[in-house]
């Protein structure tokens, strides 16, 4: 069977400034929370490798864009580093950063690759974190100023903007489960961070729409379908609560301009609602996106709790559900994540049936592999597992489109193996392998496969 995709389908890959640029404390850039955390606790990072050790896109951008072109990308996502563009968080703009981002955007456009630009990929400037980060409404305003500077400087050429990548991750990582700075564990503070993130998002969307720049603005969400262990009402309820907390707390404001009433009621009942200001309701309503980016890696398997929660324990999402290891599930043996290709189709179906079938695209999907630097006699990594992974997800994506979903493209995570937060280079994801010492890039077998798929706009 031939899997042919619609004309003008976006074939590309995604990356981010903090994971690729390098030059973390030079050329005018100030520290982010990652630079600070690495300074404080290098042992939290896999093999002690920190944010400065990257593919150095700051210097190698031209070579990398040539590679994107070679791999037949027609679109590419990266982000603009707030700490690089506005080192004090607000105020003066760093002209070296303006030059750098202008060169990158111009080169992408010149090569026929549409730049998709995201404004926040987990990389809070440290000066802003010192003022309370997303817990502080002033930081929200500063972010909106940063967004406006970006629209003003680059909006003539960038027509696809995103306010945030996976906004739930800094909430979970930084305020619930201790895998991001500032390593707080406190649900109420997490709820405030989540809420303020969506206020910041709405301010940026509203400002962008008011400019009438002829482009689109969206948000990138890691929509993790929550499947109940059984159709038993207790399991179904548990899965619904996980869905409310981790998906709908961002998806509903982004697509409907308001929070789900069930979520508001639940948080109110437990005294966990964040503080609101006059005008927030209208602001959230103005934050409805033009385009939704969907990151999909794995599903969430949920069951009801086996034991009663101790009411004296701190309030956590896990008061309402437990994770469940479904027998027989297919696993990525190299990363420990479940592989469930149909999840991508289920997300599209949910969007079509319950959210008015918005314009969307797959903004990340990919396979992390440990110890992947195994080259064959021709010097190539034979990553057939990654080809299978991408192709099998694309098949389900194709089915969603053929049933009417407005899914406009697919971006693999990621282009070149990149630095991945605390995991550093533990799991490699690229179509192109990176030798960190020599900075040499080598296209993997999957890169060649993707190149052909993009050229043919599909595969057999």
Q: Which residues bind ligand BG6 (CB under 6 A)?
A: 16, 19, 165-166, 222, 295, 364, 368, 413, 420, 423, 427
Q: Could you give the C-alpha distances from 349 to 20, 261, 454, in angstroms and in order?
A: 33, 22, 24
Q: Is 440 exposed, middle or buried (0-12, 13-18, 19+ CB in 10 A)?
A: exposed
In contact, 73 and 453? CB cutoff 8 Å? no
Residue among 135, 172, 364, 372 flagged as catalytic: 364
- Can you tell me the distance from the alpha carbon of 184 to that of 161, in angstroms, rounded to the nearest whole number? 30
- Can you tell me the distance from the alpha carbon of 4 to that of 457, in angstroms, rounded to the nearest whole number? 6
Active site includes 364?
yes
Q: Which of 85, 89, 72 is nearest to 33 (CA)?
A: 89
Instruction: Give the bridge partners for 180, in sequence order.
Output: none
Q: CB nearer to ligand BG6: give 177 or 319.
A: 177
In contact, 390 and 405? CB cutoff 8 Å? no
Residue nearest to ligand BG6 (CB): 420
Q: Who contacts 283 (Cβ-Cβ below 8 Å, separation ≥6)?
A: 199, 202, 203, 206
- Can you tell me the distance from the alpha carbon of 403 to that of 132, in angstroms, rounded to the nearest whole number? 46
Q: CB nearer to ligand BG6: give 90 or 428.
A: 428
Q: How far is the CB of 226 from ligand BG6 (least distance, A)?
A: 17
Q: How far is the CB of 429 from ligand BG6 (least distance, A)?
A: 6
Helices (H), 270-410: 280-285, 342-354, 384-402
Q: CB nearer to ligand BG6: give 94 or 332.
A: 332
Q: Who contacts 45 (Cβ-Cβ below 8 Å, separation ≥6)?
A: 38, 422, 424
Give the number of other Cβ atoms within 10 Å of residue 116's Cβ. 28
In contact, 408 and 361? CB cutoff 8 Å? yes
Q: CB nearer to ligand BG6: give 303 or 444.
A: 444
Q: CB nearer to ligand BG6: give 75 or 295.
A: 295
- The three-state secondary structure class of 45 is coil
Q: How far is the CB of 370 from ligand BG6 (least distance, A)?
A: 10
Q: How far is the CB of 420 from ligand BG6 (least distance, A)?
A: 3
Q: What residues are labeled active site?
A: 364
């Amino acid at each position: 069977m031939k899997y042919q995709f619609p004309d003008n389908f976006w074939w590309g890959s995604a990356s981010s400034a903090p994971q690729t640029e390098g030059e973390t404390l030079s050329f005018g850039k100030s520290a982010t929370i990652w630079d600070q955390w690495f300074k404080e606790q290098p042992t939290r990072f896999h093999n002690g490798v920190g944010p400065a050790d990257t593919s150095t896109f700051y210097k190698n951008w031209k070579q990398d864009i040539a590679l994107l072109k070679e791999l037949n990308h027609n679109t590419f996502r990266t982000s603009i580093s707030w700490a690089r563009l506005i080192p004090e968080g607000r105020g003066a703009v760093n002209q070296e950063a303006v030059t750098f981002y202008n060169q990158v955007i111009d080169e992408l456009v010149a090569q026929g690759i549409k730049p998709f630009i995201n404004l926040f990929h987990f990389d809070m400037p440290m000066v802003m974190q010192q003022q309370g980060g997303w817990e502080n409404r002033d930081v929200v305003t500063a972010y909106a100023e940063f967004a406006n500077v970006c629209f003003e400087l680059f909006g003539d050429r960038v027509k696809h903007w995103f306010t945030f990548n996976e906004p739930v991750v800094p909430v979970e990582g930084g305020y619930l489960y201790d895998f991001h700075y500032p390593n707080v564990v406190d649900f109420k503070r997490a709820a405030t961070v989540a809420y303020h993130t969506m206020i910041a998002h709405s301010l940026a969307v509203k400002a962008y729409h008011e400019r009438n720049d002829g482009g689109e603005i969206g948000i990138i969400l890691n929509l993790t379908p929550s499947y109940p262990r059984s159709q038993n009402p207790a399991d179904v309820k548990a899965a619904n609560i996980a869905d409310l907390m981790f998906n709908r707390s961002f998806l509903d404001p982004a697509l409907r301009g308001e929070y789900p009433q069930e979520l508001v009621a639940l948080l109110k009942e437990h005294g966990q609602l964040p503080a609101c200001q006059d005008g927030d309701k209208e602001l959230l309503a103005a934050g409805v996106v033009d385009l939704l980016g969907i990151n999909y890696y794995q599903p969430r398997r949920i069951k009801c709790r086996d034991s009663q929660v101790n009411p004296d324990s701190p309030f956590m999402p896990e008061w309402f559900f437990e994770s469940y290891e479904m027998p027989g599930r297919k696993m990525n043996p190299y990363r420990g994540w479940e592989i469930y290709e149909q999840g991508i189709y289920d997300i599209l179906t949910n969007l079509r049936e319950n959210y008015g079938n918005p314009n969307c695209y797959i903004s990340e999907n990919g396979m992390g592999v440990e110890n992947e630097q195994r080259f064959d006699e021709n010097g190539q990594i034979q990553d057939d597992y990654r080809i299978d992974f991408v192709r099998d997800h694309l098949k389900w994506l194709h089915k969603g489109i053929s049933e009417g979903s407005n899914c406009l493209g697919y971006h693999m995570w990621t282009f070149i193996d990149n630095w991945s937060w605390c995991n550093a280079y533990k799991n490699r994801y690229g179509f192109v392998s990176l030798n960190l010492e020599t900075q040499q890039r080598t296209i993997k077998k999957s890169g060649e496969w993707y190149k052909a798929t993009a050229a043919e706009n599909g595969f057999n």
